[in-house]
Amino acid sequence: MNERARSVLKEATLDEAVSLCHGAVDPEGDATGYISGIERLGVSPTRFVDGSLGVRVPGQAATAFPAPLAVAATFDTEIAADVGAAMGREAAALGQDVLLAPGTNIVRVPHGGRNFEYYSEDPVHAGAFAAATVEGIQSAGVLACVKHYVANNQETERAAVNVDVDERTLREVYLPPFRAAVDADVAAVMSAYNAVGGTPMSEHRRLLREVLKGEWGFEGFVVSDWFGTGDAVRTANGGLDMEMPGVPLSTFATEMGAPEGGDEEEAFGDEADAGADDHGVSEESAGGEGAPPHGGLPDPRTVARFAETLAPAVRSGEVSRDRVDDMAGRVVSRLAAFDRLDGDRPAGAVDTPDHRALAERVAVRGTVLLENDGVLPLADAAAVALVGPNVDRALAGGGGSSSVEAAAESTPVEGLRDRAAGEVTVAPGHPLIADPSMMDAPDDGDGSVTATGGPPGAVDRADGSPDSTRTLAAAVDAAASADVAVVFVRDRATEAWDRPDLSLPGAQDDLVTAVADAAERTVVVINSAGAVETPWREAVDAVVENWYPGQAHGAATAAVLYGDCDPGGRLPVTVAPEEAYPKADPTRFPGEDGVVEYGEGRLVGYRHFDATDAEATYPFGHGHSYAAFEYRGATRVDERTVRVRVANTADRDGREVVQAYVRYARDADADGADASADDADAARFADEPRRVLAGFASVRVPAGQTVAVTVDLADLPFHRYDDGWTERSGPFVVEVGRSATDIRTAVRFERE
């Protein structure tokens, strides 16, 4: 606690101190969360805003950046810092103080509805991007809030599920990205809805007070997820410092733009305890971090409203005044560190030319060329059939609290027509794939539409969908007449529910197959929240993963397809058929009887495929370039660094992502190295991975030239948790290559 916080808490009454520990109604009505402050002590109000893909203020446009998964696909943390700084500037310009970002939960299962908001299936990779984003946001004078601590790796029953995970897995896989954010001096940490080991994260004394604040030395404050608290005494004593939003659901929903009227009883009723899906207001309309169906929201009638319960708990002796002073002091300390106590904010700026250019650059750099049989880059004069259900819309992001009102949008139709010299014929071929909603529509029921005010007008009612047979035939005809067909396909993902499977919704697979049969050459562009199945991939000539690319969707994709830019992205997740992932046992996902078992241990993502020899369609780190690269020997620089020479043998510049993996050798070595002494531990720990990512570097290599690339290695792969952290014994083999399965060179490595 700094001196300013001590002086405030010395003068504050109990009620005033408590007021800094819970949300309140925002008089301006544009904040996701609001702390009223203490005017007489010089503590100004504080506003919190959603912000994973851009700043989400109701009724305010902002730059819609590519999804964090797309940012992570760049394998370039400087880009993450740039995006964070831009979002920070826009938050400040829109009158906000705390940006509820980044999200850095591990992509444990590919079905996660919120995977697009996260970075990676690997803890080193995720942690590097979380830290860079925190540093970027806070460089703009805005407080960052990393979320959702910890093990919030699915949306199904996220409000109630209990995660059963062993300590070693928790320490080596799920906690490290949060530790990286703390090491970057993040101002705030948001607790997750779920429980770990039977204790809700908002009350988890060991993980909040002992690990986060104790072992890691976190000096900021812990804020709840919205409505994500229970018993006030357990929550305060467990280590939570701030309860959000601090107001009834009906008040919060109205503040965020939902219609007035109703209360918790009406929204939840007697069915709340039975897990009913009708929660009265969707997060999409309410605008906040929490209000989802599908068990995604605790009953707001039972949350710990500190405004009503905390002071009485202190007076009864259940919570100490010292604890409340620590809670409030952490808040004041962080605000003081950012010069926010007097209400002044950095000027900031929204929707600047630089921000628009950055959004497009990130979308380009995050695009992954999965396959290319010589069709890309497209010839400028090629006649193109542009196919896909949503080609006339930019896919800025998924559903939920991360959605942003984009300041400007470039659709695939606009992007390709602006870039192409040849004719671009648009033939969607499939009905529109609707953006996901966090609310379920009932199979049947009564409803009404009320129009109030405005000039006289007409209301049209239409039932049914376009004739899909005729639509498909038009797309096939267009493809047959063109030099190349470019098919855009998409998934549907949102906060509050997980994808039921990895197939594309609707009949998009049939669309791709039909177009590929008719077209001379076919390119498929995937817009997705992560892995999707590609049963048609052998029938097409190129496959491009474009993620949720933000507002520059069309322009960025066209730049890659026509070769104006090299596709710089590599996969931050493994892509494989449904049956290849370790989810066959429902106890592991989505869980049974309110418990999800992390029985795979540390074998998450590529580690599972490596250890089990399961075949991935596209491995972690995979991605092609329009250039061609050769690796020429890896050398050890020091105990934290390796160097490799990368040659571009093509006649055009290209971007390569060099990846370094630490192999816990069992049956092979490098340059005569003995097998690692960790072999004995492989028998002791069934979930011992064969190799783990230790570092990476994205580098531009000019045509015909060779560059020396230095890769810094993280500490995590060289340590293990076994009733405490210990350094792994060596020697190690550091493998350097283009993906988790495409290793080009290796070097014996010892830590001194």
pLDDT one-digit tens code per residue, 188-203 = 999 999 999 999 999 9
Select the more confidently predicted residue: 448 or 545.
Answer: 545
Least confident of 455-469, 655-669, 708-722, 730-744: 455-469
Least confident of 58-72, 300-314, 485-499: 300-314
Decide if pLDDT at 470 tops 70.
yes
With 0-12 / 13-18 / 19 or more C-beta atoms within 10 angstroms meaning exposed / middle / buried, residue 686 is exposed
Decide if pLDDT at 74 tops 70.
yes
Decide if pLDDT at 574 tops 80.
yes
For position 276, what pLDDT does the model report? 29
> Which range is most confident: 238-247, 269-278, 283-292?
238-247
Locus of tokens 């896989």: 173
Residue 547 neighbours by CB distance under 10 Å: 28
Locus of tokens 């531009």: 700
Furthest-apart CA pair in the chain: how many Å?
84
Map 315-338 to HEC letters.
HCCCCCHHHHHHHHHHHHHHHHHC
For position 731, what pLDDT does the model report? 82
Decide if pLDDT at 557 tops 70.
yes
SS3 610: helix
For position 259, what pLDDT does the model report? 53
> Average model confidence (pLDDT) for the chain?
89
Of the pLDDT bands very low, low, confident and very high (cuts 50, 70, 90), residue 475 is: very high
Of the pLDDT bands very low, low, confident and very high (cuts 50, 70, 90), residue 269 is: very low
For position 622, what pLDDT does the model report? 99
Same fold, 3-337 and 353-438+466-573: no
Least confident of 86-90, 169-173, 228-232, 539-543: 228-232
In the predicted model, what is the mean pLDDT of residues 296-315?
83
For position 685, what pLDDT does the model report? 63
For position 298, what pLDDT does the model report? 61
> What is the spatial distance between Cα 735 and Cα 657, in angstroms, rounded to a whole number?
14
Q: Quick check: 362 and 79 in contact, CB under 8 A? A: yes
400-416 burial by CB neighbour count: b if 16+ within 10 A, else e?
A: bbbbbebbebbbbbbbb
Of the pLDDT bands very low, low, confident and very high (cuts 50, 70, 90), residue 683 is: very low
Locus of tokens 């830590």: 751
Decide if pLDDT at 445 tops 70.
no
In the predicted model, what is the mean pLDDT of residues 239-259?
77
Select the more confidently predicted residue: 750 or 168.
Answer: 168
In the predicted model, what is the mean pLDDT of residues 420-438?
89
Decide if pLDDT at 250 tops 70.
no
> What is the spatial distance between Cα 187 and Cα 498, in angstroms, rounded to a whole number?
30
212: nearest Cα among 120, 151, 150, 131: 150
Of the pLDDT bands very low, low, confident and very high (cuts 50, 70, 90), residue 60 is: very high
> What is the spatial distance between Cα 41 and Cα 341, in angstroms, rounded to a whole number?
10
For position 468, what pLDDT does the model report? 67
Q: What is the CA radius of gyration of the chain?
A: 26
How far separated are the first and last CA of the chain, in Å rounded?
Answer: 38
In the predicted model, what is the mean pLDDT of residues 286-291?
36
> What is the spatial distance between Cα 91 and Cα 141, in angstroms, rounded to a whole number?
10
CA 401 to chain centre: 12
Residue 525 neighbours by CB distance under 10 Å: 24
Least confident of 267-271, 296-300, 525-529, 618-622: 267-271
178: nearest Cα among 170, 115, 78, 202: 170
For position 447, what pLDDT does the model report? 56
Locus of tokens 């995006």: 83
Of the pLDDT bands very low, low, confident and very high (cuts 50, 70, 90), residue 113 is: very high
Q: Which CATH architecture has domain 3-337?
A: Alpha-Beta Barrel (3.20)
Distances (CA, A) of 514 to 416, 473, 488, 541, 708: 22, 9, 14, 14, 46
Please give the share of the chain, as a percent, with pLDDT higher than 90. Answer: 74
**Does the pTM of the predicted model rise above 0.85?**
yes
> What is the spatial distance between Cα 508 and Cα 389, in angstroms, rounded to a whole number?
8
Q: Quick check: 83 and 70 in contact, CB under 8 A? A: no
CATH of 595-749, one of 3.40.50.10190, 3.30.70.100, 2.60.40.10, 3.40.50.300: 2.60.40.10
The string of DSSP letters for 366-386 reads H-EEEEESS--SPPTT--EEE
CATH of 353-438+466-573, one of 3.40.50.1700, 3.30.1330.80, 3.40.50.170, 3.40.50.150: 3.40.50.1700
Select the more confidently predicted residue: 583 or 711.
Answer: 711
Residue 666 neighbours by CB distance under 10 Å: 12
Of the pLDDT bands very low, low, confident and very high (cuts 50, 70, 90), residue 278 is: very low
Tokens, residue 273: 């305890």
Residue 706 neighbours by CB distance under 10 Å: 15
Of the pLDDT bands very low, low, confident and very high (cuts 50, 70, 90), residue 497 is: confident
In the predicted model, what is the mean pLDDT of residues 663-682?
50
Residue 447 neighbours by CB distance under 10 Å: 6
Decide if pLDDT at 348 tops 80.
yes
Of the pLDDT bands very low, low, confident and very high (cuts 50, 70, 90), residue 253 is: low
Residue 441 has φ and ψ, to the nearest 5°, of -90, 135
Count of positions (residues) in the chain: 752
Locus of tokens 């010892």: 750
In the predicted model, what is the mean pLDDT of residues 729-743?
93
Q: Quick check: 700 and 709 in contact, CB under 8 A? A: no
pLDDT one-digit tens code per residue, 118-129 = 999 999 999 999
As beta bridge partners, residue 149 has 191
For position 268, what pLDDT does the model report? 45
> What is the spatial distance between Cα 104 and Cα 149, in angstroms, rounded to a whole number?
9
For position 304, what pLDDT does the model report? 78
For position 673, what pLDDT does the model report? 41
**Dihedral sign from CA coordinates of 212, 214, 220, 224:** positive
Decide if pLDDT at 155 tops 80.
yes
Of the pLDDT bands very low, low, confident and very high (cuts 50, 70, 90), residue 261 is: low
Decide if pLDDT at 211 tops 60.
yes
Domain boundaries, the chain: 3-337, 353-438+466-573, 595-749
